[in-house]
Structure 1
């Protein structure tokens, strides 16, 4: 009998079903006739095969007795649950599995033929000692806590790794010592507890193959991929940061009691928020602020007197008060910080600013409940240690910034700088909740009463251009196939070649007369199902080899079709989007400097952008409608500049396409909120949703009474609904006319009603172009095209 090459282990592994069979033998005494009958049937199946009970080391017998083993395990592996449970029978600490549930089989099959199932976090060096720990418990009753979760990492059908936690049921295992097994005593156990890494000691107590393992374990697996994905960054980073903060506070306490030679000192710390000029509480165990006295934050001006404020905040110098009670009696209400300290029974104190080259970061507070323990003389001891304190605070602040960034990136993805402060605020609350042990949830991010601006520079006729490119590619490929088939008919006059030529001609005629949505799919299937096999058959003919090689060289490997004209089209779209987006981003830098506002852009068949401006976004009492008007004018001007830039670089693109620009005016403020599921801002409320509807549909709208689209190449279109918007934008157009951005052919049109939206109008005006940046002349679109072609 060929035995499995088992790894070195204190246990000789035998697969057997004795413990399970014993349970069925016990069931023979049941009062339930159904149970007795079932037990008899199972025992009858096993009886002719005693090795199933005695156990075997030749694991190839798992296949020999596969049918009998499945029958034996039918209660443990219910057919009713096999499609749902991830389950198998196996040998402990080995990757030998059998009797897999159907769901587990599917998971393994999807992993691919080359996949090798292996426990991902089972160190080979520890396997021997782990087996010894199991023996200690089974045979001697010593409960060695060596449990740890094990996982399989298995790729899914898309090659994405998924993680499955393994839970073992060891009810059907037996471990018995052989004559080679030394008896383990309490002294042996005590010695082993202190020598985990001494493998030779373990082997002397548990020689290889000195015990026999007989049985099997049932492995239940659970998909924990989502849990790991959700908690990975949040748990690891935040927990790690909390640990560092705790050590940071304990180190402060230890350093200063030793430094000052007393053991009744307490150390506090308050961070400084330069933007708000406030002291703020530090998060973390063991760290408090005596200046804040339980408050989350407080104004520096309200907390300190004028002298102490200048000393700490302006001069960045430390000072001491050796007798708080006496000083307070002398200065009274002029020193609010002294009253705060007195209420906490603090009798002497040193305040030390923690500052670097960039400014104040916080204030170190060393306090004592005894007067004169801290004074201006021993305060000089801080000179030698302050550089280290500054470094520690810098590191702590950097870690907190990293935590905030990690939470924001995890919960919200990349955030525009104009609204970053709001996400930072919620991230701080999130981390605070983590520190305090409360449930940590990221609250809804919303901005009310903001004015929207929307614009787009859209590629005109993109669908038609794409279809044309597709038709040209398919025509090229069909003609190439037809040429080969015609030559094949001359060599070998088979009717099937004529039938294929007839089919090719039908497809060519269809492409010329009525190209439809499914035409590409039908022709693609024709190439794949019929033509490829024919061409491979014809490749044996020497006269056709060159033409067939040339045909297959023209085929794109990714789409399995000719990809010439479509590639030119796709490359053009990508270049347009890249250049237009880069120009818009560059212009946005100046717009943000004028007044902060939210901005986002999207690449589609062209470039779209959203902007929101309002008081709730800027975080300060500074918003005035003038900033909205300025941004609207800026938007119009930039759209004209983008049109100019596009036509100046149009000749560099593989395909000549036209663009049309549009802005949408919405004169009522609305509310927006961040959608955590989609990682983007969206409007709130039913009324505000009308704005989104118009945005999505208006560029396809028709001028009322015509079949003419409202957007047109060579013109900029301004869509609006209120008369006051019309007056406002006509003023902007007049100004832009004076700057030679737009022409004089202003027209106002009504739009056909959109679904659930009526009363829309549009101003349309021609954009004036330059042939290049150095050109001083102005051209309308038609003039520009004539100049370019001349």
Structure 2
């Protein structure tokens, strides 16, 4: 019998008190006679048994030398503190405890005979790797900071799960390399730094039992249930779509039970509707309101008495009802909030306002079916958690408002201010016709003789980046599930497991050699229809529960697939679009101040924008071509600034992508009209459609006679067809070169012919990037005029 049996670890464990006894050897020479005598007594008890110093792994010795060990550890486990301290002596990564305080023993006894003490947040693979990092620190001097808190979760007499934080004292241990242990080089160390999750690599560098751990550790354990409950409340409130989560409310109530140390409590919410002075239920799985009982809403004045109304709505302070039955009798059943609690059999309750600087947002309701357990004293526990609940409600309200606004935008549309007058005019005509009893028709909204400006900052290679992210995610998920089936084959020798592994290998080969558009769909279907049913079968067997749980935990909760690299890609695209669109919107305010014009932008793989300027839009006799030239120069300058802004923030994105910018010059005025079915403006007429064709195709075009795309990272491409456009933009480029926006490498190229469009040319010029945002202001009217007239 050996404590190392059935344990895979780089450590060969030996219990030893050598370092502690050395400490007593020093104390034995102390001038303090009392300390010296005590130390000599400890040494005398240990001397006849050299195994206590040399180390042993037979647990029977712990029983045989129990008296001597207790003497050796007497100072570490002071009898005067044994009922207060929670402390154990053990060896690391092992459930062998050979000495403990009385309070620890009582806690374990209360948990029940079937309770198994386990560290909550220490996976089996991590145990091995953490042990290896200890060796790196202890034996090789590499300072690896892997310190993280470990916890026990132990039920108390009331069935409440309490959290205990473990702090280790490793002063009394020694670690030495055994014969044949591989020497760890600096190259090994560097390799391990980037491979924490690669258990096989760690086992290669630190084979099982290649080092001897000699000594023991003291665990100082602290009840941190309140702190952990607050942390759990915060964590539970961070996630999205919690109202759709079936287990959220039960888990949330369980956390509050731990916080209040009360098994018999429930949590409710009611939302405050300020506009109508109502309390309303929160729609969500498992959510209820004890204040409203089974009603969907109630007037605030009907749900509360005057005193409680003032307390919650005006003073924004919580209050308790420690004895509902007593208060029901005292108020003769007239206090509405007491009456509704009494009807539900509730005996005590706390009502807490969820409020911010803008006022009340809702009510948190905590109720119990026992009297007096919820009171004004226990209510003070809410002080630390209410800020998180307030933040969660604020975020929820903001998300709901955004959702409402998104639906309005989708179902209606937002009309740009520059053309709003035209829609208003037609709406008034519509109303007027109806009032006069005529047939009301909403006339077509169109603008003639206007000049278009189009630009885009496009993400280069977005399809390739997306495909690569998809391949990486699918490869990770296939390999993860393959490991499960390899282990399953060792437990049950079924041909179906071999067939599944063969299919997985086939998919992995396909991902590596021939990724197709439909590969993602086929593999996802394979997971849904073939893998999950078999995993459910394996889960019932039980031996692979941990592996299967780990696999499913690695999947995204919402979409049920491994969504790591794709999430990084999607997050990057979203962040790029958000930042670029925000910058463009900000710059647009200045452009509108120069001269009013129609503006719209779209988020795709990058940001596109359309601008239309002309007399028919501004509805007044003010248009001059100078304003068109002004906006063209503004557009070119802003595109340079967007390029600069992008590359200044590129390092903050999860995936490093490049962008390419393009401007399309269309020299002839055209007409646009509002398409009611699509809720957007589009060009009007067959001739003008040529402009839309060029817009959709030109950024994918090649330079004539080459396979080089017309757009490129680091450059701005200006596409045009008329010589006068070329001369105009070369002047703008020269001007922006003088401002250090553009480089001097100007090139003029011809484009390959597009369908139905020929004769296009392009100016390509490199952008100069700046580390700071200096020299970004718009230029004076005089500067602009000098450049245009030169």
Instruction: Pick the structure with greater CA Rg.
Output: 1
Length-normalised TM-score, structure 2: 0.46
